[in-house]
Structure 1
Amino acid sequence: MFFTLSEEDRAILTRLEEDMWREVTRFDRTFQEQRFAADFFEFGRSGRVYTRDRIVRIDSQPIHAVLPLPNLAIRLLDQNTAQVTYNSQVDRDGIIEYGRRSSIWSRTENGWVMRFHQGTPYQP
């Protein structure tokens, strides 16, 4: 079965994913509480596993990521589950780190929440 994503949902998911890379939203406690699902976890680009609790408690820090997110694509896995993929480019102390990214988002009665995220390093 093939599912289609509305332009409104596409815009919302794009904004939410990019908000994860903006300091003003990414480190806002209300944003984090609303956007990370209770069972969220991440396989980081570093290979570490991050739980929701650890992600929500991270202190604010500068984020130097390229926005809009390069090669962003969204597909519906079912009517209420979307996968967002893109490449990240982040400047960390003058060194550009590249990652292939994948996030799983679920539509809830309170809007879209991120359930899972994975980053894999690559060199262009």
Structure 2
Amino acid sequence: MDPVSMVVGAVIAVVGFVTGRLVTGRQSRAALEQERRSEQARAVHSGAQSPQPLCGCGHHLVFHDPQTKKCQTQVVIPGRWTGQPGSTYKKCMCQGYRGPIPLDEYYAPDLLEGDGL
């Protein structure tokens, strides 16, 4: 091998390495910036909503039986996972509600009793 071809090969390798690092760094910075913007937008919009009681299985508290706490919903199993042409339904395997417990609401009668005091 002559030295010129080795130098040309080394230059090509270094240029490829530097180009790859610059392009990847720019893409990762853009992805991080996009993620930050979406988090800020989600934080701004979620402040208006009250937190929802979602279980670890992803279903709302109303889908869990009040006595046994087991999930009563059906989940879709795509056919490509089971090797069947169509999708199938199966009962959710959640054994109990594991989410935030909402505060109980109590009725408190008015203190004024309508006499305007």
The answer to whether the superposition gives a TM-score over 0.5 is: no
Which structure would you say has the larger Rg? 2
Relative contact order (alpha carbons < 8 A, sep ≥ 6): 1 or 2 greater? 1
Higher helix share: 2
Q: Specify the TM-score bucket, using the shorter chain as the normaliser.
A: under 0.3
What TM-score, normalized by structure 2, do the two folds share? 0.26
